[in-house]
Structure 1
Amino acid sequence: MDEKLGGEAESAGARRSRADRGGGAAARRAARSGGGPGQSLTYIRRRIGVYEVLDEEGLALIEKNADTILEEVGIEFRDDAEALELFRQAGADVRGERVHFPRGLPRSLLKTAPSIYTQHARNPDRNVEIGGKGTVFAPVYGPPFVRDLDGKRRYATIEDFNNFVKLSYMAPSIHHSGGTVCEPVDVPVNKRHLDMIYAHIKYTDKPFMGSVTAPERAEDTMAMAKIVFGDDFVENNTVLTSLINANSPMVFDETMLGALKVYARHNQACIVTPFILAGAMSPVTVAGTLTQVLAEVLAGASLTQLIRPGAPVLFGTFASSISMQSGAPTFGTPEPSLVSYGAAQLARRLGLPFRTGGSLCASKVADAQAAYESANTLNSTLLAGTNFVLHAAGWLEGGLSSGYEKFMMDIDQLGMQQRFAEGVDLSENGQAMDAIRQVGPGSHFLGCDHTQANFQTAFYRSNIADNNSYEQWLAEGEKRADQRANELARRWLESYEAPLLDQGIDDGLRDFIARKKESMPDAFT
């Protein structure tokens, strides 16, 4: 869940062995079979088009209305004199804590923001490109609870956190380790960010997100990143992509602004994301929500360029509808998908990478409701052309729980999405003319040379779904999909092997964490 819901040298990765590097053919085989522990797929390079719901007239109307909000209503930047002064110097009309933007000012400031950037991992083979035709899947973010492998809903622990990082590392279709994959409530709140960042460095070599719950925790993240990558490398490259939520409607608070300033100063990427439950935090209409989303992103994202021109920033949106009876968030419904499609179009017009979506659901367990709602959200996420997908696996209960079984089921679906994004193979092999000539009318293709050469990689093979006969299903224990996911998660965790981490870097991280923890008393609030 997002924060508001809960929630130089060569890098060590360049020095580690590259024995696990796989070629394109291996990646395609993994994509079709669901892969296996440790088989990594590179981030998606989409070969399919995007789905758009707004024409030029509609886009221009929403942009005009957003400019009106920025100019007439304004956006509040609370308890941050530096941000207010920067906007004032840039030409905005600052009245107290509310900033009114002349038309076109935020867009002008955002011209220095890159449309595509590389986030470096400590293993360079796992670097991801965010923007353009790239899509990067990252796991669930922020839940205080877990649905564990014994079927219990309970508060998350640091062991759970480590487990989800390990599963993300082992999942072929997860390209990014994410951030707060669950909130480890057994660790003091003022110290847990140290353990979480260490887990992302120790237990995986994929890229990861930084802490945003306080500016000093963002600074700690930067310090740990520099131990791994080196000062100069970090200042000149992006090694972190971190979530900055607007406090919708039309407010940025001091916590988020503090973290944004830390990361932007160090050339690290910020995902500026209005956190919206439509009907409560935005109007009930799609057009009204899109207008507010655009205004909030323009305001927050432009601040990154005042801090450091050229710092990467993403156009983010998290938009859900609510039950008008209970007020609870709902997922997999049509209106948030329309918001995602429209927001993606607006992001492309701004020239910013786009974040939305995931495998979102309101279900409390990994059941049919979870599957339908997650599939609806995930399909629209990919078709929108999303570049960074947070909550791609493990989300339950409206973001209150991270589910082990749900995580395994979701990554299976992510593998399917990765295959779908490859589009249609029009190579000589893909055209299959030899097969058609060989088989001719009235026969079948099962035994022909082309089928024999391609049968292992032709179709995606799920490692969760049961496609066998009823009799075989009975003989194997009548297991449901969630039961098979449970068994798979247990096997993966039992077989986990950590990627190599330079001992000197590990010692430096442990020493930094020990000194930081000793410098302050425990706090749980």
Structure 2
Amino acid sequence: MQRYQVLSQNEIEQIHENTLRIMENIGVVMTYRPARDILEKGGAILDGERVRFPQKMVEKELKNVPSSFTMYARNPKYNVTLNTEDSVYAGPNCPPFVTDMDRGRRPGTLADFIEIIKICDRLKNVDIQSQIPCEPGDVEVARRPDVMLYNTLKYSEKPFMGSSLGYENAKRGIEMASLAFGGMEAIKEKPIMASIPCTLTPLAYDDSMLGALMAYAEARQPQLINSLAIAGMTAPTTLAGLVSVQNAEVLAGIVLAQLISPGTPIVYSGAGSNAEMSSGVLSIGSPEHALVSLVVGQLAKYYQIPCRISGALSDSKLVDAQAGYESAVTLTMGQMAGGNFILHGVGIIEGYNCTSLEKLVIDNEIIGYMKRINKGVAVNEETLAYDVIEEIGPKGTFLVHDHTLENFRDEFYMPTIGDRWVYDQWKSRGGLSVEERANKKWKEILENYGEPTLPNDIDAELQKFMEIY
């Protein structure tokens, strides 16, 4: 499928060249000494905690990044392949609050966390479980990464994301997850979990994120090396300047990962947007965010690396028309940009602060539209249907023809909660709004979820692991 190109090839090359100037002349602060040691051995120039990256070093390590890889699930039917063409969708990540139409807005709990995992496990268009679909605030902070990982493994058969909080914590999480997949050596060959180490923009990384990046690279697990640069706050107001800073940060992390383990799977992750200048607050439903997503998609294609783009984002405080149009625009831009790993694909409102259970279901519907559009239009003898057109002729009907019956299920997207009935039929079926239908849907999912499919012996081994640590 053709992708939208917001910049010319020459303009993308200008951003790349500006990025290399930033990396070589200005550098990136990296406070974690083990990371600096590896970079220095790989050819970087150190000035205290500031690391400068020679152009040849950057370009050499970029060539080691695979353009495709597979993430393996407990249930093989949910395996997903990440490449530079197709799109997969992950759930919401990191909101501290949860909301639904019955219980209202509230701080997230472990019970909320488990509900979201279950819902996303049953939503057809959610391909990967995020690490923190909501923050389980009632779990002790030190135990939270283990508890979240355990419950994700227990209640979902899909690929998943893991913790990025420091080297030891990340390493422990990877080891724990490997128990359900045959051990550490097995997952090095068949990666199972992704992390999202984030930069400390502008042009810095802290110990925690660098440690996690190193742990995942050692285990050859995928990572979404991420920068969320904010135009007018942590990056230049001009979007070309923002993208240059963001690109330098992401490439610095990619170089480190490849020096640790050449061929480590990477997803290029640029989540930058602009500040709302009247308040200084990050805006994620803005047209500027959509433009940055388009440029990120082009840069990742330039490097031939799968890219992460944010999905159904909204600054709205409710599941309302604003949430609908902002989410549809950001998801569409992700598709048009050629995004391959769409994080926050469902559920987000309030600028990353809240997960809505109704919006999980509604956004799943929007992704269904996106996936259908991404299939494109097949052109062949069967689809051109000349013989059928000739047979039916002028003023005929195609409704009951065999060609229609054989093709409509594959050709048409069938809504899961969208309404296409005429008014009287809609009214007779309850006259429900889309929010009310979504509310009904997530309740049905939870009611019919059934028992977890995690084998008892693995469940016991995971619980024992948590007790040991």
Q: Same fold judged by TM-score > 0.5?
A: yes
List aligned pairs for 1:159-238, cutoff 5 A. Answer: 159-229=111-181, 230-238=183-191
Measured in 1, the distance between the counterparts of 2:202 and 2:229 equals 8
For residues 256-271 of structure 1, the aligned pairs below 5 Å read 256-271=209-224
Return the letter of the residue paired with 1:208.
F
8 Å Cα contact 2:155/2:453 also seen in 1: no
1:456 CA displacement: 4.1
**Which piece of structure 1 moves more, 321-330 or 452-461?**
452-461
Which structure 2 residues correspond to residues 45-444 of structure 1 after superposition, within 5 A?
Answer: 48-78=1-31, 80-229=32-181, 230-444=183-397
Number of residue-to-residue matches in the alignment: 468
Is the partner of 1:257 in helix, strand or coil?
helix
Cα distance change of structure 1 residues 151 and 466 upon mapping to structure 2, 3 Å threshold: farther
Paired with 2:279 and 2:248, the residues of 1 have a C-alpha distance of 28
Q: Give, in angstroms, the shift of residue 214 of structure 1.
A: 3.0
* Structure 2 equivalent of residue 33 of structure 1: none
Q: CA deviation at 1:378?
A: 0.2
Which letter maps to 2:81?
E
Paired residue type of 2:39: F
Letter in 2 for 1:158: L
Normalised by the length of structure 1, the TM-score is 0.86
- TM-fit CA distance, 1:335: 2.0
Q: State percent identity of aligned pairs.
A: 37
Is contact 1:396–1:403 with CA below 8 Å preserved after alignment?
yes
Residue segments in structure 2 that go unaligned for 5+ positions in a row: none
Which AA in structure 2 matches 1:236?
E
Whether the 8 Å CA contact 1:227–1:508 is kept in 2: the answer is yes
Q: Which runs of 4+ in 1 moved over 6 A?
A: none
SS class of match (1:311): coil
What CA distance in whole angstroms lies between the structure 1 residues aligned with 2:248 and 2:119? Answer: 37
Deviation for aligned residue 1:121: 1.2
CA RMSD of aligned residues (A): 1.6
CA offset at residue 103 of structure 1? 2.1
Give 1:76 shift.
0.6
Matching residue's letter, 2:296? A
1:351: Cα distance to partner? 2.4
Whole-Å separation in 2 of the counterparts to 1:359 and 1:110? 30
- State the alpha-carbon separation in 2 of the partners of residues 236 and 448 from structure 1: 50
Corresponding letter in the other structure for 1:370: A
Deviations 1:137-177 (A, max 9, x none): 00000001001341511001111111111111111111111
Q: Using CA pairs under 8 Å that are at least 6 residues apart, name the structure with larger relative contact order, 1 or 2.
A: 1
Q: Distance in 1 between matches of 2:381 and 2:112?
A: 47
What is the match of residue 23 of structure 1? none
Structure 1 residue 343: deviation in Å? 1.6
Scaled by the length of structure 2, what TM-score is found?
Answer: 0.96
Contact kept, 8 Å, 1:147 with 1:365, in 2: the verdict is: no
**Distance in 2 (alpha carbons) for counterparts of 1:420 and 1:224:** 39
- Unaligned runs of at least 5 residues, structure 1: 1-47, 517-525
Q: Distance in 2 between matches of 1:213 and 1:232?
A: 23
CA distance in 2, matches of 1:59, 1:231: 39
User: Could you say which residue in structure 2 is the equivalent of 1:453?
Assistant: 406
Task: Give the Cα separation in 1 of the matches to 2:344 and 2:405.
Answer: 38
**Residue type of the alignment partner of 1:305:** Q
Instruction: Out of 88-97 and 139-148, give the one that drifted further.
Output: 88-97
